[in-house]
């Protein structure tokens, strides 16, 4: 397929790998996965999540990179071009368009949580956690949630940081940020895990996460594990597709995908082990929910030697992770704008930045002034955006991409792009054609109340 105009490319395979790992490793691994493991009873949830990553996540990530690299365009025009090539209906472009919006919706709440993290860097650094106990930590967090203005300041900063990078383009912006932030993130992670191994209750944490107890597994837990596998690997909305569209032809998609998925899952598991080791050593509540990181970790940081520094490093690590993911949430929309309108990258970044800034304001108000505003099923603005994107839009996007690659595209084109041997290709194809669609359909049927319940 031919390229449209001049497009930037990653300068190396390493740059692509770091950027995609940067997209995958984010608040999903550090803030969301641990609290979901806690809420869903631990090990059995971990196993289902891992199965979803390996059976669905990896083949779908290969699929999304493959679609992006073949199309060499933003996800919306990319799906259209691929549909034309396969003589399929132009309506496939809606998969890409929905993805652009999903990214913007996710950033609407992502930026708020990232803002909390920024605030907690300052708290940790200024020694605010010293000697804090459970009720005090909870009160501190609740008080913060009740102060929309403070949340607005951090949300604004995070939006500026994100769009500031994206405005600089693929090489000077996305690539450079990931090349600096990702190695820093891995270094801080090693320090933290080592530290929590030394002072935390690591064996209880490992037992909680790895001794399977299937009696604790509910259908809701299975549904959330699948949704979270998509969220964690950034699948189903075109982030990976647009990153794939900047990838050089000769790079092996399968091998790169496996490295990225292993890094993403590994970071999630390591952070989970570290967090629960601190939670158990300090007799804290594993099932605390979304506040887990903000209500329990300060107590642990406040009571350990060197806790100010470790706490500051921890929240810095979370910021880096969130930042490199947020960049990829807006890139599909930015690529679409620059490739379809006369707006420059900078102007597009302003437009998207302001849109997401406004959306974020609604989200942050849903924690205080608008607490009683419910959108659907009694869910507030924050929960609606979270559930709508991770349990519906991303799996649906993933399903559509799997069906497209598995049934619509010409086999030779898929094989040419993936460059797999016959055996691995057959396995991939079976996962994409049967396993992924059936699993995703089962989840939707469950959500619709047809089965389960
Ligand atoms: N994968 C990111 C995380 O784990 C979130 C994300 C989802 C980023 C979808 C891009 C696209 O935090």
Residue 375 predicted with pLDDT over 80: no
Instruction: Determine the average pLDDT of the residues in 348-369.
Output: 96
Which residue, chain included where needed, has tokens 């939707």? 444
Model confidence band, residue 369 (pLDDT cutoffs 50, 70, 90): confident
Nearest residue CA, atom 9 of ligand 1?
234
The reported pLDDT for the residue numbered 378 is: 77
Q: Give residue-wise pLDDT tens across range 411-420.
A: 999 999 998 9
The reported pLDDT for the residue numbered 1 is: 53
Two structure tokens written together for 165:
């990078």
Residue 72 predicted with pLDDT over 90: yes
Instruction: Determine the average pLDDT of the residues in 381-408.
Output: 93
| Residue 87 Cα to ligand 1 middle (Å) | 32
| Residue 237 Cα to ligand 1 middle (Å) | 10
Model confidence band, residue 452 (pLDDT cutoffs 50, 70, 90): low
Two structure tokens written together for 53:
């990553």
| Residue 423 Cα to ligand 1 middle (Å) | 31
Looking at per-residue pLDDT, the higher value among 258 and 287 belongs to 258
The reported pLDDT for the residue numbered 5 is: 54
The reported pLDDT for the residue numbered 451 is: 59
Ramachandran quadrant class, 147 (left: phi over 0; alpha: psi -120 to 50; beta: rest): beta
Ligand 1 pocket, mutate which of 229, 234, 388, 393 (most atoms under 8 A from CB)? 234
In angstroms, the CA 249 to CA 258 distance is: 18
Q: Which residues contact 176 (CB under 8 A, 6 or more apart)?
A: 168
In angstroms, the CA 114 to CA 105 distance is: 15
Model confidence band, residue 4 (pLDDT cutoffs 50, 70, 90): very low
Residue 194 predicted with pLDDT over 70: yes
| Residue 429 Cα to ligand 1 middle (Å) | 25
The reported pLDDT for the residue numbered 232 is: 95
Nearest to 396 by CA among 56, 101, 98: 98
168: DSSP letter: T
Nearest residue CA, atom 7 of ligand 1?
234
Ligand 1 pocket, mutate which of 64, 181, 225, 328 (most atoms under 8 A from CB)? 328
Model confidence band, residue 123 (pLDDT cutoffs 50, 70, 90): very high
Q: Give residue-wise pLDDT tens across range 316-337.
A: 999 999 999 999 999 999 999 9
The reported pLDDT for the residue numbered 2 is: 44
For residue 27, the ligand 1 atom closest to its alpha carbon is 12
Looking at per-residue pLDDT, the higher value among 184 and 91 belongs to 91
Q: Give residue-wise pLDDT tens across range 125-135.
A: 999 999 998 88
Ligand 1 pocket, mutate which of 23, 57, 96 (most atoms under 8 A from CB)? 23
Q: Tell me the pLDDT of the chain averaged across its residues.
A: 91
Q: Give residue-wise pLDDT tens across range 155-180.
A: 999 999 999 999 999 998 999 989 89
The reported pLDDT for the residue numbered 347 is: 97
Phi, psi of 25 (to 5 degrees): -80, 115
| Residue 422 Cα to ligand 1 middle (Å) | 32
Residue 64 predicted with pLDDT over 70: yes
| Residue 318 Cα to ligand 1 middle (Å) | 13
Which of 60-64, 194-198, 338-342, 402-406 has the lowest average pLDDT?
Answer: 194-198
Which residue, chain included where needed, has tokens 């792009």? 417
CA distances (Å), origin 89, targets 84, 95, 293, 327, 380: 7, 12, 46, 31, 37
Residue 142 predicted with pLDDT over 90: yes
Nearest residue CA, atom 11 of ligand 1?
234
Residue 423 predicted with pLDDT over 60: yes
Angle of helix 219-232 versus helix 253-281 axis, rounded to 10: 120
| Residue 390 Cα to ligand 1 middle (Å) | 10
The reported pLDDT for the residue numbered 383 is: 87
Instruction: Give the binding-site residues of ligand 1, using a 6 Å CB cut-off.
Output: 23-24, 26-29, 106, 231-232, 234, 237, 239, 325, 328-329
Number of H-type helices and E-type strands within the chain: 23, 0
| Residue 234 Cα to ligand 1 middle (Å) | 4
Instruction: Determine the average pLDDT of the residues in 352-365.
Output: 97
Nearest to 79 by CA among 194, 87, 151, 71: 71
Nearest residue CA, atom 10 of ligand 1?
234
| Residue 323 Cα to ligand 1 middle (Å) | 10
Indicate the class that CATH gives domain 13-447: mainly alpha
Model confidence band, residue 305 (pLDDT cutoffs 50, 70, 90): confident
Model confidence band, residue 450 (pLDDT cutoffs 50, 70, 90): low
Model confidence band, residue 6 (pLDDT cutoffs 50, 70, 90): low
Ligand 1 pocket, mutate which of 28, 101, 271 (most atoms under 8 A from CB)? 28
Residue 453 predicted with pLDDT over 50: no
Instruction: Determine the average pLDDT of the residues in 175-192.
Output: 88
Q: Are 401 and 95 in contact (CB under 8 A)?
A: yes
Instruction: Determine the average pLDDT of the residues in 184-200.
Output: 85
Looking at per-residue pLDDT, the higher value among 1 and 354 belongs to 354
For residue 264, the ligand 1 atom closest to its alpha carbon is 4
% of the chain beyond a pLDDT of 70? 98
């Amino acid at each position: 397929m031919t390229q449209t105009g001049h497009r930037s490319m990653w300068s190396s395979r390493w740059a692509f790998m770091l950027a995609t790992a940067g997209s995958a490793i984010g608040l999903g691994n550090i803030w969301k996965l641990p609290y979901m493991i806690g809420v869903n009873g631990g090990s059995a949830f971990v196993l289902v999540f891992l199965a979803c990553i390996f059976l669905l996540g990896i083949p779908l990530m290969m699929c999304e990179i493959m679609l992006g690299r073949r199309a060499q365009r933003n996800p919306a025009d990319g799906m259209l071009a691929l549909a034309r090539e396969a003589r399929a209906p132009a309506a496939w472009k809606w998969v890409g368009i929905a993805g652009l919006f999903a990214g913007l919706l996710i950033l609407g709440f992502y930026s708020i949580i990232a803002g909390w993290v920024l605030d907690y860097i300052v708290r940790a650094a200024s020694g605010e956690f010293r000697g804090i106990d459970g009720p005090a930590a909870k009160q501190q967090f609740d008080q913060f949630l009740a102060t929309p203005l403070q949340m607005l300041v951090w949300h604004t900063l995070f939006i500026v940081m994100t769009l500031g990078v994206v405005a600089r383009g693929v090489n000077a912006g996305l690539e450079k940020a990931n090349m600096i932030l990702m190695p820093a993130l891995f270094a801080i992670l090693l320090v933290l895990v080592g530290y929590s191994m030394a002072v935390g209750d690591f064996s209880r944490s490992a037992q909680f996460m790895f001794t399977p107890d299937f009696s604790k597994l509910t259908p809701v837990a299975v549904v959330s594990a699948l949704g979270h596998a998509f969220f964690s690997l950034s699948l189903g909305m075109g982030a990976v597709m647009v990153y794939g569209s900047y990838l050089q032809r000769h790079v092996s998609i399968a091998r790169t995908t496996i490295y990225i998925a292993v890094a993403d899952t590994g970071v999630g598991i390591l952070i989970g082990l570290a967090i629960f080791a601190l939670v158990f050593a300090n007799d804290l509540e594993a099932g605390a929910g979304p506040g887990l990181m903000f209500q329990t970790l300060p107590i642990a940081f406040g009571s350990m030697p060197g806790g100010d520094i470790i706490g500051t490093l921890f929240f810095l690590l979370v910021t880096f992770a969130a930042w490199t993911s947020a960049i990829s949430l807006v890139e599909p929309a930015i690529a679409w704008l620059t490739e379809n309108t006369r707006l420059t990258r900078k102007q597009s970044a302003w437009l998207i930045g302001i849109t997401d800034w406004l959306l974020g304001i609604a989200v942050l108000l849903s924690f205080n002034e608008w607490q009683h505003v419910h959108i659907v099923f009694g869910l507030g603005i924050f929960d609606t955006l979270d559930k709508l994107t991770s349990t519906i839009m991303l799996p649906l996007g993933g399903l559509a991409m799997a069906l497209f690659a598995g049934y619509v595209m010409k086999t030779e084109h898929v094989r040419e792009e993936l460059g797999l041997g016959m055996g691995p290709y057959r396995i991939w194809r079976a996962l994409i054609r049967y396993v992924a669609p059936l699993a995703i359909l089962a989840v939707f049927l469950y959500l619709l109340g047809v089965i389960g319940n």
